[in-house]
Chains A and B, each alone.
Chain A
């Protein structure tokens, strides 16, 4: 087993060797500009891009013509939300999203608010899912877009996107979903979900960084977007700029591999994740899973190890790459806004660790991580005044804390 162990696959993933092999020729011999229509260099590049477009479309049950390539999911989210807000300004100015969305969605909505849009940020329930009644109640005749992620990047919780899509369709409102964490990992079909816009990233599914896609529905309804990057009218005029051919080829190949191997990979990772979870529960008391276990990505686990602070935990496991919702690990000194939104209390947010398993996670690594983390948690609890108080029967919520 090689150390350090990578168990942070929600942050990014290594490029699959098969993906890299597919990309390499497009850096050197087939380096043409896909927009060059009058020579073989351009044709070869264009052909490769169209093949990738088909591969990405196949992964999500779309038509290749509905795939727009971008620089990544942050751009896809920006293009979807700003593009709709600008294009459908006459129709309305109200957008509905959710408090645990990725910052690429939240910050984009905040910016639109400054420009006069009205945004509703739906709360989530304790399990991390939105309440569909809240969504229905938030709808107005000015609502033009609902943007709700398919799976959350911290807690892996899956939103009821098919139900959301149905509500949107019924009301004639566009539905965008950030499917970055879900695409290629769990089955996702744009028609089953009734999504109009879907954001995808290559580097979350064993492709390269710096490339992503936006699905833009062409029929029932035909979705129009105001371009956010001008200059040449590439990608049906929705996203100008010379295409990143090697990156796009990589995204396509990554999508094809994910589609072919999804069933077996999901099965394998779910077993590993469940083992990780069971062993933690066997070894330690007072640990809490953040978010629904039922509606969750198979390769995600987010646990709060109560009465132990996240950064001190990470300090004790420097040969395991995971991330924490603790304030001390972020520059803002605020604990994870996602975990806070679940309403479990900031103290549990400070104690949380996110495990993201992936294509190269092994049994042996899971065993190692369990052992290592168990020992560190036990050691830190030995020196935790909170753990001691709880063991003495003190109710921490009734204490008068001297906050500083």
Chain B
């Protein structure tokens, strides 16, 4: 029976299981902080909600912290956990270049779980958009590092 359980769990890649069991960067950042962008995507009645937050260093324009909380299946948890790992150390523009297909490939998600990766990409974009909106509202000058070439 354990062989079968192991085999069925292969439907989840080792990487998905690893992120599910040891999620990276679970938690929350202060959402009123001017340097923090928050993205909240999905809907409870659809079975997935992701909250993804980034803190951008105002000096360098680089994301120095990323946190997530996710309500969803193992693949949704893994997608958001992976996203926070990737975001750290990236500039805002580099972050916006992350595609859901990158997540699908890295986690070997099956077709029925592709929507989890789409949601993670949406969460990244929403978090960055929130950060950018705050910057505009406070009219702070764009940090030099943010304008990656």
Q: Which of B80-136 contact A (CB under 8 A)?
A: 112, 115, 118-119, 122, 126
Count chain B residues whose beta carbon lies closer than 8 angstroms to a beta carbon of A: 36
- Kindly state the separation between the CA atoms of A207 and B75 in the bound complex, as whole angstroms: 38
Q: Given A4-B1, A318-B5, A404-B118, does the pair A384, B42 have CB atoms closer than 8 Å? A: no
Q: Is the CB of B28 within 8 A of A328?
A: no
Check: A260 CB closer than 8 A to any chain B CB: no
Q: Choose among A335, A347, A404 the residue that contacts B119 (Cβ–Cβ < 8 A).
A: A404
Q: Is the CB of B23 within 8 A of A312?
A: no
Q: Inside 8 A of A333's CB, which chain B residues have their CB? A: 112
Q: Is the CB of B51 within 8 A of A385?
A: yes
Q: Which residue of A lies closest to B28 (CB)?
A: A388
- Kindly state the separation between the CA atoms of A319 and B68 in the bound complex, as whole angstroms: 28
- Kindly state the separation between the CA atoms of A326 and B46 in the bound complex, as whole angstroms: 10
Q: Inside 8 A of B71's CB, which chain A residues have their CB? A: 307-309, 384-387
Among A19-27, A31-39, A395-403, the one that faces the other chain is A395-403
Q: Which residue of A lies closest to B47 (CB)?
A: A350
Q: Inside 8 A of B112's CB, which chain A residues have their CB? A: 333
Q: Inside 8 A of B68's CB, which chain A residues have their CB? A: 383
Q: Which residue of A lies closest to B41 (CB)?
A: A402
Check: A315 CB closer than 8 A to any chain B CB: yes
Q: Write out, one digit per residue, whether chain B residues 1-23 have a CB within 8 A of any chain A CB (1) or not (0).
A: 11001000100100000001001
Q: Is the CB of A402 within 8 A of B42?
A: yes
Q: Would you give the shortest CB distance from A370 to chain B, in whole angstroms?
A: 21
Q: Inside 8 A of B12's CB, which chain A residues have their CB? A: 315
Q: Which residue of A lies closest to B81 (CB)?
A: A383
- Kindly state the separation between the CA atoms of A335 and B46 in the bound complex, as whole angstroms: 9
Interface of B, helix, strand, loop or mixed by DSSP: mixed
Q: Is the CB of B42 within 8 A of A404?
A: yes
Check: B34 CB closer than 8 A to any chain A CB: no
Q: Write out, one digit per residue, whether chain B residues 48-74 have a CB within 8 A of any chain A CB (1) or not (0).
A: 111100000000000000001111111
Q: Inside 8 A of B122's CB, which chain A residues have their CB? A: 402, 404
Q: Choose among B23, B43, B76 the residue that contacts A401 (Cβ–Cβ < 8 A).
A: B43
Check: A382 CB closer than 8 A to any chain B CB: yes
Check: A46 CB closer than 8 A to any chain B CB: no
Q: Looking at A308, A316, A401, which has the most chain B CB atoms within 10 Å of its CB? A: A401
Check: A262 CB closer than 8 A to any chain B CB: no
Q: Is the CB of A312 within 8 A of B72?
A: yes
Check: B26 CB closer than 8 A to any chain A CB: yes
Check: A116 CB closer than 8 A to any chain B CB: no
Check: A311 CB closer than 8 A to any chain B CB: yes
Check: A327 CB closer than 8 A to any chain B CB: yes
Q: Choose among A328, A347, A385, A388 the residue that contacts B50 (Cβ–Cβ < 8 A).
A: A385
Check: B137 CB closer than 8 A to any chain A CB: no
Q: Inside 8 A of B9's CB, which chain A residues have their CB? A: 318
Check: B141 CB closer than 8 A to any chain A CB: no
Q: Inside 8 A of A383's CB, which chain B residues have their CB? A: 23, 26, 68-70, 77
Q: Is the CB of B44 within 8 A of A401?
A: yes
Q: Given A404-B118, A404-B119, does the pair A328, B41 have CB atoms closer than 8 Å? A: no
Q: Inside 8 A of B26's CB, which chain A residues have their CB? A: 382-383
Q: Given A311-B74, A312-B77, does the pair A385, B40 have CB atoms closer than 8 Å? A: yes
Check: B45 CB closer than 8 A to any chain A CB: yes
- Kindly state the separation between the CA atoms of A384 and B26 in the bound complex, as whole angstroms: 9
Q: Which of A266-320 contact B (CB under 8 A)?
A: 307-309, 311-312, 315-316, 318-319
Q: Would you give the shortest CB distance from A20 to chain B, in whole angstroms?
A: 19
Check: A346 CB closer than 8 A to any chain B CB: yes
List 8 other contacts, CB 8 Å, given A315-B12, A401-B49.
Answer: A309-B48, A309-B72, A312-B74, A312-B77, A401-B44, A404-B46, A404-B115, A404-B122
Instruction: Name 28 A/B residue pairs within 8 A (Cβ), A-sorted.
Output: A309-B47, A309-B71, A311-B73, A312-B20, A312-B74, A315-B74, A316-B20, A326-B73, A328-B73, A333-B112, A345-B44, A346-B47, A382-B26, A383-B23, A383-B68, A385-B49, A385-B50, A385-B51, A387-B71, A388-B28, A396-B44, A401-B43, A401-B45, A403-B42, A403-B46, A404-B46, A404-B48, A404-B118
User: Interface on B for A, CB 8 Å cutoff?
Assistant: 1-2, 5, 9, 12, 20, 23, 26, 28, 40-51, 68-74, 76-77, 112, 115, 118-119, 122, 126
